[in-house]
């Protein structure tokens, strides 16, 4: 592959990442999150814990566990949409 080809690939990747970053936006207050079962990424302000994929199921937020159970989460403070899954080539 030529250097020009590598450069073009880099430009395309950067463009995609920029578009994805704009779509995802910044962390939003949990009060604005969808409460219709849509999976989102949730996090906790001021707590050293990695974000989790979760959804709201009346009356609380929860996440699927490795045993396919639904565990209640302790009051996440922020959320953001999940990134777009990769495409099959």
**75 Rama sector, left if φ>0, alpha if ψ -120 to 50, beta otherwise:** left
The pLDDT tens digits for 9-67 are 777 777 766 776 677 678 999 999 999 999 999 999 988 888 899 999 989 999 877 77
Measured CA to CA, the distance from residue 44 to residue 1 in angstroms comes to: 45
pLDDT at position 67: 72
This prediction has a pTM of 0.67
Q: Helix, strand, coil proportions of the chain in percent (round to 5)?
A: 30, 25, 45
């Amino acid at each position: 592959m030529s250097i020009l080809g590598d450069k073009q690939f880099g430009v395309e990747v950067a463009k995609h990442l920029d578009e994805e970053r704009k779509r995802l936006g910044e962390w939003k207050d949990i009060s604005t999150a969808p409460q219709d079962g849509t999976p989102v990424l949730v996090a906790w302000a001021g707590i050293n814990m990695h974000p989790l994929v979760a959804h709201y199921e009346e009356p609380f937020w929860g996440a699927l566990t490795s045993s396919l159970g639904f565990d209640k989460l302790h009051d996440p403070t922020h959320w953001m949409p999940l990134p777009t899954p990769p495409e099959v080539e």
